[in-house]
Structure 1
Amino acid sequence: MITVLREVIATRYVTPLREGGSLPGVVEADDSGTYVVKFRGAGQGPKALVAEIISGELARGLGLPVPELVVVHLDPVVARAEPDQEVQELIKASAGANLGMDFLPGALGYEPNINPVDAELAGRIVAFDAFTENVDRSWRNPNLLMWHRRLWMIDHGASLYFHHDWARAAEKVHRPYKWDDHVLRPYATTRSGLSDELTEELIRAAVALVPEEWMDVEPGRYVEHLTARAARPEAWLP
């Protein structure tokens, strides 16, 4: 698992992506890369970026397919030519560090009736989503892409929703996962609790990747909660 996220500097704001409520945007950076950026100043706030990094890097550590994540440093001047006032205000509110995901050119949204998924991979993704309590992998909004004939997991901002109510988080640590609408349910005919792989070391390493300025609690609280959840997969695994 990586020990630090790469940091890049935004050089050009290309276009907004209006599929999501957070209004992410495509941005070019000084490493000649192109990234889909989620902005710290969006309505969901920094917690969505925290969830993106912890869940995304946990998935990577488990061998699941996630595009590279980077920290994108943004000067609002890069979007000075953007005519949309809403985008301008969002960019101004997001000066500094934001979250970028490697842009996959030509990727297509996952279609469950067209792109069957191997049962083992589907089972691992379902188990992972159950562990992170990802409520946003439904057939309405799969948050999966097909790129070079391979499945890729994106958009984990709606996971880890226990951190929106820390006062009651301990009560929810073993909360069961509702997977009735999970887009991969028809293919997940094998189950994987991931219990042997979800180690405290892996969890601690993923949490450590989050920029300190995005955190509103001690990082150890995430480690404690997720380690306790990992210890009892029978409580949350579908």
Structure 2
Amino acid sequence: MSAQILIIEDEEKISRLLEMELNFEGYVTGKAVSGIEGLEKALIGGWTVILLDIMLPKLSGIEVLRRLRQAQVSTPIILLTARDTTSDIVHGLDLGANDYVKKPFKMEELLARIRTCIRNQQLITSLRSPKEGESDVIEFDDLSIYRLNRTVMRQNVRIDLTPKEFDLLLYLVRHRNQVQTREQLINHVWGYEFVGDTNIVDVYIRYLRKKIDYPFKGQLIQTCRGVGYCIKEGETRED
């Protein structure tokens, strides 16, 4: 079955070019010309990748992204941006975008990023799903992770995580007691070669600690200064 790509872009020339090139590569495409239309189509589901312009009429691309991630839509999203500031790019990545390309972009580069998104999404899906004969539940210390329904419990208290927070926690637990560098976490959790500030990892570690560690006794997420992070059995909290 061909991958299906939703193009949310209001510039007709760019939208048409993307449609023609993607169709030529064998992808099935859908189009939307405004943020509202794009959000509605994206929420229907069935898309393999979403190409999302940041500057859209009626509803900005950033707001579309925020609402999709809030609705737990985990489809890979590549931002199309004419903006060149690191803060704009990092903001989009913080909200859950998987990658970005700057306009004007080379089609070969965009196609490569699409292939990478698809490949990494397949990898992440396989990591989330239990293998045959393997339990759905991963237990570590007093933490329980239910992969199929993406639920996390600690000391019998349910913890609500965003999709990216869940993926980060799952990866750390799968590699318990092993220090993971920021670059490793970026590549395996975000699923692409991140170009820029790896501060996004620190931001999400803080998010996780507020939910996983601070309300409970014992700190699971440990910092290895100058290297990265790991998860270990609960230790005395670092203040």
Whether these two folds match at TM > 0.5 is: no
More strand, by proportion? 2
Greater C-alpha radius of gyration: 2
TM-score by length of 1: 0.28
More helix, by proportion? 2
Q: Which has the higher contact order (CA 8 A, sep 6+)?
A: 1
TM-score by length of 2: 0.28
